[in-house]
Amino acid sequence: MLLMILRVAYLLICAGAILAYITSDVDQSDSILTPMVINGQNLMVPKATVGGSVSMPAIIRNNKATAFLTLLAISQIFTVVDLGIRKKRIDVISGIYFGVLVGILLAYLFIQSLTPVIPQTHPYHTAVVLITLLAFPYICVSLLLQTKDDFRFVIPYVEFQRDLKSGRPLVVDSSSLIDGRIADVVETQIIESQLIVPDFILAEVQDVADSSDKNRRIRGRRGLEVLAKMQQSVNVDVKVMETNRADYKSMTVDQKVVALAKQIRGGVITNDFNLNKVASVQGIPVINLNDVSHALRPRYIPGERLQIKIIKEGEGPGQGVGYLDDGTMVVCENTAHLAGKDVSVIVTSVLQSSAGRMIFGKMVYQAGQ
C-alpha cells in the first residue's frame, strides 16, 4: 500500500512539473532577434541569450498536449523498471549508489587536474568531460558490484530480529532435512548459529516429496515436516533464503550449497559424504550429522539383538536388507527370501564411517514362528 501511494504521488508530481514547464513559455515577441546594447552599440542578438534564459523548443511549444503525454511517459519509465525488478538486494543498490557518487567525485577531480592541460577553450574539452563522467561512475559501480562480498558499505539502520544467534550461519542441505536428526540436534540447543535453507534446497525436497516412488515421497514429506518443526522451534533461527538464479547458473545442487556458504561466509550442515568432502577441501566448515551421531549415540556391539523388517534383497548372495528407525542399514545373512517380513537379528559386526553406519548380522528367528 505504501509503495502504491508513493508511485501515485510520483505520477502526480511529474504531471504537475511537466505541466508547469510546458505552460511557462510566454512569447513576448514573434521576432527571433532582440535589440541589445553591447559596448555602447545597438546589436541584434538571439532572443534565447537575453538574461541567460533559453526559450522552449518550438516542437514543444507548438504541440503542448503531445509533449505533455510524451514527457509524462518518459518520466514513468522508472516506475515500470521498478515494477519489473521485484526482488531487489540492498548490497546491489548500495553498490550502484556509492559507485555513482564516488565515480562522479573522481571524475570531477580528474577533470580539474586536466584543466591546465586541456582548458575549457580547448576544442576537445567537452569530449573529455563527457567521457570522464561516463567512464568513472561505470568503473566504480562495476568494481563495487564485483567485490561486494569482500568489501561492503554498511548503511546505518536498526534491524529488529528475534534473539540474534552467534557464530557463522549454516547452510542446510536436503540430505540433513530428509534424515530428520537435525531437528533433534536443534532441540539440544548445541547449535547457536542461524540455519539457512536456500530456495533451491527447498525445491529439491519438494521434488522428492512429489515423486511417484512411494519411498522417496515419504522421505521428501518427512524433510518438509522437519523443516516446519525447526521453524516453529524457539531454540534456533531458521531462514529460507531466496537466491539469484543467475548467480548459480549451470551448477549442481552441491556446488550451489558450497557457493552460497562462501558468499555468506558460513558453514554447511549435511549428511552427504561427497558434499562433506567438497566443502572441506574448499575450507568451508562442515557439520556432518553422521559424525555427530557417531560421537553421541551408543554403538551397537556384536551379540546384541535387533528387530527389523527386511525391505529388499542385498548385493551378496542370500543377503536381506532392512533399516533401523534412524535409517541405519542392517544387512542380514540368509534373509533375502523374507522380504516384507519382520525378523530378529543378532549383530555380528558394525561398520561406521562419515558416510553412515552399516550393521551386519544373522537371523535368530522369524517373528511369529
Residue 271 and residue 330 share a domain = no
Residue 274 and residue 229 share a domain = yes
CATH number of the domain at 314, please: 2.40.50.140
Answer yes or no: is 49 within a domain. Answer: no
Average the pLDDT over 88-100 and give the result: 78
Using alpha carbons, select from 270, 313, 274, 299 the residue that is nearest to residue 357: 299
Answer yes or no: is 47 within a domain. Answer: no
What pLDDT, on a 0 to 100 scale, did the predictor assign at position 37? 59
Name the amino acid, one letter, at 336.
A
Average the pLDDT over 3-27 and give the result: 80
Q: In what order do the strands lie in the sheet with 238-241?
A: 238-241, 195-198, 170-172, 267-270, 286-288
Residue 90 CB neighbours (<10 A)? 11
Residue 316 and residue 274 share a domain = no
**Which of 159-163, 232-236, 268-272, 310-314 is predicted with the least confidence, judged by mean pLDDT?**
159-163
What pLDDT, on a 0 to 100 scale, did the predictor assign at position 51? 45
CATH number of the domain at 262, please: 3.40.50.1010
Residue 288 and residue 239 share a domain = yes
- What is the distance of C-alpha 88 from the center of its chain? 10
pLDDT-derived band at 33 (thresholds 50, 70, 90) equals low
Do β-strands 342-353 and 305-313 pair in parallel, antiparallel, or remain unpaired?
Answer: antiparallel
Residue 289 and residue 183 share a domain = yes
CA distance 354 to 297: 14
Convert the pLDDT of each residue in 59-91 to its tens digit.
Answer: 877 888 888 888 888 888 888 887 887 767 777
Residue 290 and residue 180 share a domain = yes
Residue 196 and residue 271 share a domain = yes
CA distance 181 to 290: 9
Answer yes or no: is 136 within a domain. Answer: no
Residue 271 and residue 241 share a domain = yes
According to DSSP, residue 307 is labeled E
pLDDT-derived band at 175 (thresholds 50, 70, 90) equals confident
Residue 331 and residue 215 share a domain = no
Helix (H, G, I), strand (E, B) or coil at 182: helix
The total number of structural domains that make up the chain: 2
Residue 359 and residue 331 share a domain = yes
CA distance 244 to 234: 29
Which domain covers residue 344, as residue numbers?
299-366
Average the pLDDT over 142-147 and give the result: 78
- Residue 249 CB contacts under 8 Å (≥ 6 apart), including other chains: none
Convert the pLDDT of each residue in 262-311 to its tens digit.
Answer: 888 888 988 888 888 888 888 888 888 888 877 766 567 788 888 888 89
pLDDT above 80 for 164 = no
pLDDT-derived band at 41 (thresholds 50, 70, 90) equals low
Residue 177 and residue 264 share a domain = yes
